[in-house]
Amino acid sequence: MRDFTHGNEAGHIFYFSLPMLMGNVFQQLYSTVDSIIVGNTLGKEALGAVGASFHVIFFLVSLFIGVTMGTSIIISQYFGAQDHEKIKRAMDTAYLSLFVASIFLAIVGVLASPGILRFLNTPEDILPQAVTYLRITFAGISTMVGFNATSAILRGIGDSKTPLGFLIVATVLNIILDLVFIILFGWGIAGAAWATVIAQGFSFIAGLVYLNRKHSLLRFQFRKLEFDRSVFVLSLKIGIPSGIQQMLVSAGMMALSRIVNSFGTPAVAAFAAAGRIDTFAGMPAMNLSLALSNFTGQNMGAGKPERVVRGYRAALAIASAISLCISLVSVLFGRTLIGVFNSDPEVVRIGASYLAIVGMFYIIFSSMFATNGVIRGAGDTTYSMLNTILALWLVRVPVATLLSRRFGTDGIWWSMPAGWAAGFLAAYVYYRSGRWKRKTIVRGRSPSP
């Protein structure tokens, strides 16, 4: 456990974010290893199938991701206020509600996969493989949701290190199973999907075992879980805007995918490969944002908003320095990075162009995430949702639609930094207004206006 209400702000945020960053790197290796092995052994059509499935999966699990983010914020504020009873109630309620909801999601996902992929203009030559990958992934979606919930609970009490070990082992397991199922057993794209599901299931079970052995406060006993209606309502109030925000982000990416799909299989494969690299590039900013949200939650719960302001400035400086380094790598080595996934010349050309255009603007992306991290951590998730609507649906998607008609796929890529710039500007203006300080759930003392 880590108490953020005392000590150096920059050190707390940086060292808390490191295990989360490493954990997310290994978690993303699930899908990245799938893409590399699939793209090099099964071809660009299979790579495109994995890429086409990714945005659909993320869209349908986004609401659950948002609710777990809300749970983490609530627990961090209860932890800052030292209310242990409420922490346990929040954990129990999160597990029960997410378990029931994930079963419903699995059924919907399995049944709706073909229709969703056809709506997204998925090319016919990759459609059957995309349907197979998507259905298997949804069949095991409860393991993904369960592990994300466990990680969110641990982050709320300041523990970002524990999930890392589970993810490292699970990632190694995923790589081994990929090679066994795809190359040795010849299961094709279905093997990649099953490898990911099994690895995620291992992470979830390992997380539950750890809770039972190491944290008496957070012990998981399914038959003794207690549903607290008031905590559930509060978690929905905080989590649903975050979930809707995540869904809007994913829906925006699906809208971009629909435009990309109209340019054919090489563009779909390039978007899949570049998207994997882009995800890694954005991880430092996203994890600093998560760390800043938990830092903000604890300090607002303890009535110390002045520490939040200093923490925000520190996180912004750290994120900017890292983003500049990542931009340099993306722009200079784009063709080499795309070539790892698939050697087709057209795929490499389109993917490298993506990294050259988008990679120049990661500093704006990181600034937007840091600012939103403070706002979310204070409990004001509604504004973050509205900001996402602005950045995605009023800027990125319209710009992509218009520019793609004139500049092809490059026009789509330019829409992404345009959306980030709009999102950062709106978030920063709101941050400067100070209204987020009055949105805290638990008050150690009244925050300054």
Burial 29-50 (b: 16+ CB within 10 A, else e): bbbbbbbbbbbeebbbbbbbbb
Q: How many angstroms separate the CA atoms of 71 and 146, rounded? A: 13
Mean local confidence (pLDDT), 343-353: 92
3-state secondary structure of 359: helix
Distances (CA, A) of 174 to 137, 141, 279: 14, 16, 19
Q: How many angstroms separate the CA atoms of 322 and 366, rounded? A: 9
pLDDT tens by residue, 305-322: 889 889 999 999 999 999
Q: Tokens in use for 343?
A: 């050697």
**pLDDT tier at 217, thresholds 50, 70, 90:** low
Distances (CA, A) of 76 to 111, 156, 379: 37, 4, 11
User: ∠ CA(355), CA(386), CA(12), 5° rounding?
Assistant: 70
Domain spans of the chain, in order of start: 9-438
What is the pLDDT, as a whole number, of residue 326?
Answer: 92
Mean local confidence (pLDDT), 123-152: 87
What would the DSSP string read from start to end of 20-69?
HHHHHHHHHHHHHHHHHHHHHHT-HHHHHHHHHHHHHHHHHHHHHHHHHH
pLDDT tens by residue, 245-256: 777 777 777 888
Task: Report the chain's C-alpha Rg in angstroms.
Answer: 21
What is the pLDDT, as a whole number, of residue 446?
Answer: 42
What is the pLDDT, as a whole number, of residue 409?
Answer: 93
On the question of pLDDT at 353 being above 90, the answer is: yes
What is the pLDDT, as a whole number, of residue 449?
Answer: 39
Neighbours of 410 (CB within 10 A): 15
What is the pLDDT, as a whole number, of residue 402?
Answer: 94
Q: Which residue from 106, 88, 101, 65 is spatially nearest to 221, judged by alpha carbons?
A: 88
Task: Report the chain's mean pLDDT, rounded to a whole number.
Answer: 83
What is the pLDDT, as a whole number, of residue 142?
Answer: 87
Mean local confidence (pLDDT), 51-59: 77
Q: How many angstroms separate the CA atoms of 279 and 39, rounded? A: 18
Q: Are 151 and 207 in contact (CB under 8 A)?
A: yes
On the question of pLDDT at 341 being above 80, the answer is: yes
User: ∠ CA(262), CA(355), CA(369), 5° rounding?
Assistant: 100
Q: How many angstroms separate the CA atoms of 289 and 374, rounded? A: 8
What is the pLDDT, as a whole number, of residue 405?
Answer: 92
Mean local confidence (pLDDT), 34-53: 81
Give percent above pLDDT 70 in the chain: 94
On the question of pLDDT at 344 being above 60, the answer is: yes
Which carries the bigger pLDDT value, residue 213 or residue 132? 132
Which carries the bigger pLDDT value, residue 215 or residue 143? 143
Report which residue type is found at 202. F
Comparing 68-77, 91-100, 101-110, 343-352, which segment has the lowest mean pLDDT?
Answer: 68-77
Give percent above pLDDT 90 in the chain: 27
Mean local confidence (pLDDT), 370-398: 84
Which residues lie closer than 8 Å to 63 by C-beta, 6 or more apart?
101, 240, 243, 244, 246, 247
Which carries the bigger pLDDT value, residue 92 or residue 370? 370
**pLDDT tier at 355, thresholds 50, 70, 90:** very high
Q: What is the largest CA-CA distance in the chain?
A: 63
Comparing 198-207, 214-223, 244-253, 334-343, which segment has the lowest mean pLDDT?
Answer: 214-223
What is the pLDDT, as a whole number, of residue 447?
Answer: 42
Mean local confidence (pLDDT), 400-412: 93
Specify the pTM: 0.66
